């Protein structure tokens, strides 16, 4: 609020014999002056002891709907003072060629090997790695160092056996369990990922590993926004499902608009500028057997109508980035294009809503976010001993170390055959945001803020069967100037 206008309102209140407490000033600053002026009588009624307190103003904001003041004022203020800065840096579905053939799969894996082995060679001492063929020519007991793609992984009682291949040869790598650190690293190796192995030449065309290297990222200092501004990271609405928690999602929207007051969050709300949605906006139709029994809205169009109607209620001053998930109406192979044209048509004219593909690299207020729905997390979690959905943040860290969003090639996380591997994490983001698992988790890894944004759907029968307890309606809101997380519970 303009300081002169603030002064004139406070002066007016003072002339009327009222005094304003310091904490009430902060609230007054976030409210449109005209709203305050229109409600002076109500404020005076509530402040009978002569003091305009924080509680009095909160009571004014939180009044009944019929007589509520226009409380979307904070966002109106925000729209005036916070500039929109959204840049789609990379939307990989756009890199997919037309007319793909089976040959493209071969090219894709060669490209993956080529790019990720180059990243491993950048690690200190790894530019001397040889081909597998050369390593196999070494004498037994001699030191060797190779880079390859994992064809098979087998965990036994005493070691992990890896079948590693490069462009010409294969070799069996034994990861012994006598070194706990090496064992832990070995357990996190994923089939189809590219790794470096240093060890000694063993018997019968084997290498006994002494060191394992992932492409990984170097430690880095994340970028930070040059002003205090917030982004809410959400995902997995599943609109259309009987289990979609409509009342909680509507509460979230009402909070953004100012219709719901939450203690201690008004400053964040007034500076909330971005919402990033990591897929599964709707529950879809025919996604899994007998899904229709669990659907409240049984057609895709109706589901998107309901979802977008709610999303369009969000003030236009807030920039919204939406990617699809495996439940959305688009190709299921990754990278996924945006949801069907109907969705784009529905939001036609809403310039603050950006519908893009999955994954996407997007820069908001100078902070780069890699947004990925997270379908590959299922197979990553299933592949690593001791991992579960509750450790989804660690599984996301595994993806960063692998420098790949879908390291394991299998049916549950299909990829589009392309001559370049578009799912490599080439550009290191400041924030890595995913969903899919329906469990809210965050952690920092080498300067990257990892966030899984949970869901807005209650526990499904599938999740119950698999012992997954979702954390719906708890959302991480990121202060982009500090890269810190505030969890807000809308349940
Ligand atoms: Fe989901």
* Ligand 1 centroid distance, CA of 421 (Å): 25
* Ligand 1 centroid distance, CA of 107 (Å): 31
* Rounded CA separation 301/342 (Å): 8
Length of the chain: 491
* Ligand 1 centroid distance, CA of 460 (Å): 10
- First-to-last alpha carbon distance for the chain, in angstroms, is 32
* Ligand 1 centroid distance, CA of 234 (Å): 11
* Ligand 1 centroid distance, CA of 389 (Å): 13
**Token couple for 396:** 């996301």
* Ligand 1 centroid distance, CA of 235 (Å): 7
**pLDDT (0 to 100) of residue 447:** 95
124-213 CATH fold: OB fold (Dihydrolipoamide Acetyltransferase, E2P) (2.40.50)
* Ligand 1 centroid distance, CA of 46 (Å): 45
Identify the architecture of domain 86-94+219-489 in CATH.
4-Layer Sandwich (3.60)
**pLDDT (0 to 100) of residue 69:** 30
* Ligand 1 centroid distance, CA of 437 (Å): 7
* Ligand 1 centroid distance, CA of 111 (Å): 30
What DSSP element (H or E) covers 450?
strand 448-453
* Ligand 1 centroid distance, CA of 243 (Å): 12
**pLDDT (0 to 100) of residue 248:** 97
Residue for token pair 């950048």? 122
Q: Show the beta-strand stretches assigned E in 194-299.
A: 194-201, 206-213, 230-234, 272-278
Q: Which of 281, 284, 283 shows the shortest CA–CA distance to 321?
A: 281
* Ligand 1 centroid distance, CA of 327 (Å): 7
- Angle between helical axes of 54-61 and 22-29 (0-180°, round to 10): 30
* Ligand 1 centroid distance, CA of 254 (Å): 23
* Ligand 1 centroid distance, CA of 435 (Å): 7
* Ligand 1 centroid distance, CA of 321 (Å): 17
**pLDDT (0 to 100) of residue 137:** 95
* Ligand 1 centroid distance, CA of 114 (Å): 33
Q: What is the phi/psi pair of residue 38, to 5°? A: -65, -25
Task: Give DSSP secondary structure letters for 307-363.
Answer: HHHHHTTS-TTSEEEEE--TTSSS-SSBSBPPSPHHHHHHTTT-TTEEE--BSEEEE
* Ligand 1 centroid distance, CA of 190 (Å): 23
* Ligand 1 centroid distance, CA of 290 (Å): 17
* Ligand 1 centroid distance, CA of 325 (Å): 7
* Rounded CA separation 119/215 (Å): 5
* Ligand 1 centroid distance, CA of 244 (Å): 11
**pLDDT (0 to 100) of residue 33:** 59
* Ligand 1 centroid distance, CA of 276 (Å): 15
* Ligand 1 centroid distance, CA of 236 (Å): 4
Mean pLDDT by 10 residues, the chain (491 residues): 64 66 65 61 64 66 34 38 94 89 91 98 96 96 98 96 97 96 96 98 94 96 94 98 98 94 92 97 92 94 97 96 97 95 93 97 98 97 96 98 96 90 97 98 97 96 90 97 96 88
* Ligand 1 centroid distance, CA of 405 (Å): 17
* Ligand 1 centroid distance, CA of 367 (Å): 25
User: Are 367 and 223 a contacting pair, CB within 8 Å?
Assistant: yes
Three-class DSSP category at 395: helix
* Ligand 1 centroid distance, CA of 413 (Å): 14
**pLDDT (0 to 100) of residue 393:** 97
* Ligand 1 centroid distance, CA of 422 (Å): 23
* Ligand 1 centroid distance, CA of 183 (Å): 33
Longest dimension (CA), the chain: 95
């Amino acid at each position: 609020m303009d300081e002169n206008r603030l002064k004139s309102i406070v002066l007016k209140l003072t002339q009327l014999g009222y005094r304003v407490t310091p904490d009430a000033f902060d609230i007054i600053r976030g409210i449109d002056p005209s709203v305050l002026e229109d409600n002076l009588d109500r404020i005076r009624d509530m402040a009978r002891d002569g003091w305009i307190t924080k509680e009095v103003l909160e009571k004014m904001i939180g009044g009944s709907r019929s007589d509520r003041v226009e409380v979307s004022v904070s966002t109106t203020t925000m729209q005036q003072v916070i500039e929109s800065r959204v840049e789609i840096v990379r939307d990989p579905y756009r890199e997919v060629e037309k007319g793909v053939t089976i040959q493209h799969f071969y090219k894709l894996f060669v490209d993956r090997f080529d790019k990720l082995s180059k990243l491993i060679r950048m690690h200190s001492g790894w530019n001397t790695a040889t081909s597998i063929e050369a390593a196999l020519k070494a004498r037994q007991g001699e030191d060797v160092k190779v880079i390859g793609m994992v064809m098979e992984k087998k965990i036994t009682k005493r070691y992990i056996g890896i079948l590693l291949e490069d462009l010409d040869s294969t070799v069996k790598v034994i990861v012994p369990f006598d070194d706990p650190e090496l064992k832990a690293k070995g357990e996190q190796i994923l089939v189809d990922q590219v790794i470096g192995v240093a060890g000694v030449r063993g018997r019968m065309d084997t290498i006994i590993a002494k060191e394992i290297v992932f492409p990984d990222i170097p430690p880095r200092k994340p970028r930070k926004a040059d002003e205090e501004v917030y982004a809410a990271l959400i995902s997995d609405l599943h609109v259309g499902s009987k289990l979609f928690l409509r009342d909680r999602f509507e509460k979230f929207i009402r909070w953004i608009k100012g219709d719901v007051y939450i203690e201690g969050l008004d400053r964040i709300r007034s500076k909330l500028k971005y919402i990033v949605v990591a897929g599964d906006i709707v529950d879809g139709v025919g996604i899994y057997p007998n899904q229709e029994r669990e659907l409240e809205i049984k057609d895709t169009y109706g589901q998107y109508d309901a979802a977008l109607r709610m999303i369009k209620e969000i003030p236009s001053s807030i920039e919204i980035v939406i990617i699809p998930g495996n439940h959305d109406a688009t190709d299921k192979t990754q990278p996924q294009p945006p949801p069907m044209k109907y969705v784009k048509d529905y939001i036609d004219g809403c310039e603050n809503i950006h519908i893009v593909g999955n994954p996407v690299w997007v820069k908001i207020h100078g902070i780069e976010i890699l947004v990925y729905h997270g379908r590959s997390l299922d197979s990553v979690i299933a592949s690593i001993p001791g991992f579960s959905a509750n450790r989804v943040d660690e599984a996301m860290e595994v993806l960063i170390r692998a420098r790949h969003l879908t390291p394991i090639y299998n049916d549950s996380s299909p990829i589009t055959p392309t001559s370049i591997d578009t799912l490599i994490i080439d550009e290191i983001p400041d924030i890595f945001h995913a969903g899919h698992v329906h469990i809210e988790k965050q952690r920092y890894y080498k300067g990257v803020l990892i966030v899984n944004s949970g869901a807005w759907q209650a526990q499904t029968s599938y999740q119950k069967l698999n012992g997954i307890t979702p954390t719906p309606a708890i959302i991480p809101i990121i202060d982009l100037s500090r890269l810190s997380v505030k969890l807000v519970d809308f349940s």
